[in-house]
Structure 1
Amino acid sequence: MTSHHRYRLWPLAVLIAATVAVQGCNEKPAEPPRAATELQVGQAVFAPVVVQHQLGTTVIERAPQRVVALDMNEVDFLDQLGVPVVGMPKDFVPQFLASYKDSPSVEDLGSIVQPNLERVHGARPDLILITSLQANHFRELSEMAPTIHFDVDYRDSEARHIEVIREHLLTLGQIFGKQALARQKIMALDAKVEEARCITQDRPEKALVVLHNNGAFSSFGVQSRYGFIFNALGVKPASPMAETGLHGQPISSEFIQQANPDIIYVVDRTAVMERRPVMGAESMGNPLLRQTNAWKNHRVIFVDPQAWYVTGASPTSLKRVIDDVVRGYRD
């Protein structure tokens, strides 16, 4: 969140969220307004922007021209705002950002978890965007260019996941003179969230979110990287366990059978890490799983693992997550 503009941006975010919420579940969400022309804003004299984040305070003194994004969520934010990227890691690029992976004008900066700092320096950035995955390099990166940390919590997204995404959009919109477009994206995102809540709020089904990793499974509950599924989207959890953490709580087939979820969302990490096709129902065909309500009612949902695992905290990925969640409630 920017510091000296906090009094302007936060009420705006609240107003946008409130506007969507009061529409009600039986009304069609209002069409978001078309973005105002940004050319005049871009030509105006740049006012320094001060951004406060979990790793400190970053001052943007001039309009960035060469932006490096070290996390795929950040690449998507910039893509949504029409801001070019000069460099990014290209080890795990989701399909919806494939054009960046194939572009010779976008420098390959190594891996998401361990970016190549020499390449980052060679890209001559004037702004660097990171998340907690690159936080241990914050000091070195800040010596190269102003560096902003995206304060999304990958270990526990229950409390403010959607709000943090909104705030980051507003911050980047201010930095790049794209405020109107950022507000448009927020309204579209809020409408999507409200649509999901309208579907889940009166439904009795309980769900499990599980991560598949080479034949083993982990569960993610209300205090985990997928906590926002339950908190923000209104999905009812099938397990009372608090599976706080980045990789969830290891579980057995017996655990899944005893929880007896009505819906199971499967995030296939192996498909991402080993670049394999996403697993299907036949890969989960053990007798205990077949006894769950989810299996019997064909509500084992194999989600988009790139959107859920590689990203999960950007406008495009969140919309894809919501689409997968809604699939679990279709008859």
Structure 2
Amino acid sequence: MHGSLRGTRLAAALASVLMLFVTVAACGSSGSPRAGSGKTTAASKAFPVTIAHKYGSTTVEARPQRIVTVGLTDQDAVLALGEVPVGTTEWLGGYKGAIGPWATGRLGGAKAPTVLKDTGTGPQTEKIAALRPDLILAVYGGLTKSQYETLSKFAPVVAQPKEYNDFGVPWQQQTEIIGKALGQEAKAKSLVDGVEKDFKAATEKNPAFARSTGVVATPYEGIFVFGSQDPRSRVLTDLGFTLPADLDKVIGDEFGANISKERTDLLDTDAIVWIASDPVKDEAKLHKDALYGDLKVAKQNREVYLKESSDYGNAVSFVTVLSLPYMLERLVPQLAAAVDGDPATEVAAPAA
């Protein structure tokens, strides 16, 4: 009885959304055009393109005019490629248009995107339909198959790639997948090459990174450690650091997990990056815990504490082609101080 009623309501809701989409679309494409919508470039000649992902493949027939990003950081790649999405999904920072300070310059004079929210039940389907998208990007995301199928009724959807955990796509692949979807593969590759040069310069300047172990964690409901497929951990490995050997064995097939007291040893690395809600209070609390406070990484001042709600902290979690240069400028000096071999060296917070 209850199952039948829920099914009826779901069908009615979906029909309502479809009707909304058809009605709005019939009204034409009035409203602010996306940045660069007047361009007719070589990008337009790249279509159609077909992109494989977790739920099969999606073909984009023509150059997108109204892009909605459901992936939590996909907007940065879109902006880096010279386009402005009409809708973005809120994740960190509460920024206007869900555009971080490292990316706002890419808006130009365009209107900030409409911000959608994932309330824990998935994308806001009706609001996405009302934006009349012709491409929905969910590359850095965790769409379920049913969510993918529902969104596909309104526009082509590029879901997360199957090769990685949900929310585990590397920033390089994220940028290149979105570049292909926008008909700009060459530009996307060029953008990736540029940021990879920043990483190379950092590793050449700091050879100690290649001899060091590191891990990223947060004091969330105990201690939460990010695994090798999480973009934050990949920043360390891209800089030359080695992650703890048992990390993924303990975490399992997830981007991260809370660890037990018995596995605090995973934190005893040459450097640890803490993403903390209150760095001062969290550091004091961690050091009062005998299991953590007695580790060499704590005793020898090899910790990097970031405030998670700061622009810098948000950039560390975003890990995109636009946020990385902003973040590396701040993080690399801190990591260098942490692994310089002198416990007296202060790991100072960035000036700004």
Amino acid at match of 1:144: F
Q: 1:231, CA displacement in angstroms?
A: 4.6
Larger radius of gyration: 2
Q: Does 1:247 align with 2:256?
A: yes
Distance 1:120 1:111 in 2: 12
SS of 1:210 mapped into structure 2: strand
Q: In 2, distance between residues paired with 1:229 and 1:43?
A: 31
Give the letter aligned to residue 120 of structure 1. Answer: I
The residue that corresponds to 2:241 in the other structure is 235
Q: Percent identity, aligned pairs only?
A: 18
CA RMSD of aligned residues (A): 3.6
The one of 117, 128, 135 aligned to 1:120: 128
Aligned runs of 1:254-273 on 2, under 5 Å?
255-256=263-264, 260-268=268-276, 271=277
Which among 153, 163, 179 is matched to residue 164 of structure 2?
153
TM-score, structure 1 normalization: 0.69
Amino acid at match of 1:54: K
Give the counterpart of 1:192 among 187, 190, 198: 198
Alpha carbons of 1:235 and 1:202: their partners in 2 closer, same or farther (altered >3 Å)? Answer: closer
Counterpart Cα distance in 1 of 2:225 and 2:90: 28
Contact kept? 1:71, 1:112, Cα under 8 Å: no
Please give the residue correspondences for 1:152-231 in structure 2 after superposition, counting only pairs within 5 Å: 153-154=164-165, 162=170, 165-198=171-204, 199-200=206-207, 203-214=210-221, 216-222=222-228, 226-229=232-235, 231=237
* In structure 2, C-alpha distance between the alignment counterparts of 1:75 and 1:43, rounded to whole Å: 18
Contact 1:208/1:237 (8 A) holds in 2: yes
Specify the code of the residue in structure 2 equivalent to 1:142: S
CA contact (8 A) 2:72 2:90 kept: no
The match for 1:26 is none
Instruction: Indicate if the aligned counterparts of 2:164 and 2:229 stay in contact, CA closer than 8 A.
Output: no
Instruction: Select 2:284's aligned residue among 265, 277, 282.
Output: 282
Structure 1 unaligned runs (5+)?
A: 1-37
Name 1:92's counterpart in structure 2. 92
Tell whether the 8 Å contact from 1:87 to 1:109 is kept in structure 2 after alignment: yes
* Equivalence for 1:107: 114
- 1:94–1:239 CA distance, 2 compared to 1 (3 A): farther
1:329 aligns with 2:329: no
> Structure 1 residues 279 and 178, CA, compared in 2 at 3 Å: closer, same or farther?
farther
The 3 A distance-change label for structure 1 pair 260 and 308 is same
Gap change, CA 1:286 and 1:176, over 3 Å in 2: same
State the secondary structure of the residue aligned to 1:235.
Answer: coil
Q: Distance in 2 between matches of 1:63 and 1:213?
A: 42
Q: 1:225 to 1:294 in 2, by over 3 A?
A: same
Tell me if the contact between 1:207 and 1:238 (Cα under 8 Å) persists in the aligned partners: yes
Q: Across the two proteins, how many residue pairs are aligned to each other?
A: 277
In the TM superposition, what are the counterparts of 1:62-77 in structure 2 within 5 Å? 62-77=62-77
How many angstroms apart in 1 are the aligned matches of 2:133 and 2:209? 49
**What does residue 9 of structure 1 align with?**
none
Q: Which amino acid aligns with 2:132?
A: R
Provide the secondary structure at the position in 2 that maps to 1:184.
Answer: helix
Counterpart position of 2:152: 142
> In the alignment, which residue of structure 2 is the partner of 1:302?
305
Contact 1:307 1:317 in 2 (8 A): yes
Secondary structure of the residue aligned to 1:78 is helix
Please give the secondary structure, in 1, of the residue aligned with 2:152: helix
Alpha-carbon contact 2:142-2:160 (below 8 Å) kept? no
In structure 2, C-alpha distance between the alignment counterparts of 1:118 and 1:178, rounded to whole Å:
29
State whether residues 154 and 246 of structure 1, in contact with CA within 8 Å, keep that contact through their aligned partners in structure 2: yes
Say which SS state the counterpart of residue 100 (structure 2) adopts: helix
TM-score normalised by the chain length of structure 2: 0.65
Task: Give the whole-Å Cα distance in 2 for the aligned partners of 1:249 and 1:307.
Answer: 22
1:302 deviates by: 1.8
Cα offsets for 1:78-110 (capped at 9, x unmatched): 11112111112235347662658xx97522322
Structure 2 segments unaligned to the other structure (5+ residues): 1-37, 307-311, 341-352
